Structure 1
């Protein structure tokens, strides 16, 4: 009986620690992942059509794949800027299912993609840098954004890359503003969004870490 119990314990531990693949999977494999629990949870929080939630999950998987590719290839450190607000919300939802998120990252991406949100100290530091030298601050911000655009375009290819950049940085800012989140967030799940002020143009807190 003791041996059997020991075997069950070891097996359980192994299930919690999925094997890590040696390299990032293809984009097609990353996007093929399905998780209805994540979608249901997101729809519990935001009053949006299911088709819209599925699209956002699709784009979030694409973002995570790009983050993993950036780490693997030692490319630019990708950051979530204001236009990607709703993708960030879906990312938060996915991470709530910690075991599923871990398995997705290690089984498919070969690396655990960490999320490093900006805190009040980070935002204050960025504001001080902006106020000290707005021209220099914006020049560095635009350069970082250009590197991120270029990486996304190169990794996804001409057609998909262009379509993704247009969707993320032109369509989504118009569709998913902070006001949209406040309006469509289901009342009993409202948290800190109502107290947030519009984001200062900034380089953004790093969204990933190796």
Structure 2
């Protein structure tokens, strides 16, 4: 019996500004690109739920695993970001997927398989993805993302974002100090201007 309760379109319609903003804070990407990656992450999560259902029903031509491939590491990073919003992630899974999708590392002893076996499994994997996410997303995941979001590129985006945060924090600290300095200087000048008058008044009173 299937536990998947939402269509792919319904899952893709889910919005979360906090996830997108947090991802942009961690990686130096535009809002448009962050929203696109979040869209593909929701597609990945829906596909995982569909895959679990297919495995439970023992359907033919279903790959044994849908582990995250290096080519879609950027989707994995967005998945990590989504999970940080724990309650919202759990609610998304319950409402659109019908089951919680845990983020588990894939332990697979590839060295125990022949190259032919690995090739066959990868073809089955791609075929399954094509059936449910289509050519456009498949091309995005395995042609565009490996080039634009390699492991080195992702590290670079993370470093640039960290530098941007540091720069912004330095600017904010400077603005606060500058504001406090101006306020302190204004109060000091006001006191200096008033002080001679008070001194003069004191002298007049003594005479």
TM-score by length of 1: 0.68
Structure 2: gaps (5+ residues): 56-61, 165-207
Structure 1: gaps (5+ residues): 1-20, 190-210
Return the alpha-carbon distance in structure 2 between the equivalents of residues 78 and 57 of structure 1: 18
1:164 to 132, 137, 140: 137
Match of 2:168? none
Determine helix, strand or coil for the equivalent of 1:181: helix
Determine helix, strand or coil for the equivalent of 1:78: coil
RMSD: 2.1
Shift, 1:22, TM fit: 4.5
TM-score by length of 2: 0.69
Q: Does 1:51 align with 2:32?
A: yes
Determine helix, strand or coil for the equivalent of 1:23: coil
Return the alpha-carbon distance in structure 1 between the equivalents of residues 83 and 70 of structure 2: 20
2:129 to 152, 170, 178: 152
Structure whose alpha-carbon radius of gyration is higher: 2
Which is richer in helix? 2
Aligned pair count? 154
Change (3 A) 1:115 1:34: same
Q: Do the aligned residues in 2 keep the contact of 1:83 with 1:173 (CA within 8 Å)?
A: yes
1:187 to 162, 181, 184: 162
Return the alpha-carbon distance in structure 2 between the equivalents of residues 115 and 145 of structure 1: 21
Return the alpha-carbon distance in structure 2 between the equivalents of residues 23 and 178 of structure 1: 32
